[in-house]
Amino acid sequence: MELSNSEEQLMQILWKKDKAFMKDLVEAYPDPKPALTTVATLLKRMQDKKFVGYTQIGRSREYFPKVSKKNYFSKQMNGLIKNFFNDSTSQFASFFTQETDLSEKELRELRELIDEKIKNK
């Protein structure tokens, strides 16, 4: 299941904070800040999608992510590779290295990461 752009923006805030009350989430937004009702609606949708949970503390709810940023990003990347690059990581790598303006240093660092991964397999 995926998040909408507005849900993803809220999730980014929650990942940074780890736990937060609704007022803290609203305050973390850049100006213009969304209405409390907007954030409440987003949180409810994200709970329904099993991305967010909460702990009841008195009359307030402290929200927390149920999905790690790493796991979410990994699924998004795998979906991107599957949908846009015919499930071919080599097509993705080719596009990534040709269409991004990576410096020689960045390409060498990328090669080192790949070489290290190969070495550890």
Domain limits, the chain? 5-65, 69-119
Fold category of 5-65 in CATH: Arc Repressor Mutant, subunit A (1.10.10)
pLDDT digits (tens, 9 = 90+) for 79-115: 888 888 888 888 888 888 888 888 889 989 988 988 8
Residue 18 above 80 pLDDT?
A: yes
CB atoms within 10 A of CB 15: 15
Are 46 and 7 within 8 A, CB to CB?
Answer: yes
Instruction: Measure the CA–CA gap between 7 and 47, rounded to whole angstroms.
Output: 11
Three-class SS of 41-101: HHHHHHHHCCCEEEEEECCEEEEEECCCHHHHHHHHHHHHHHHHCCCCHHHHHHHHHHHCC
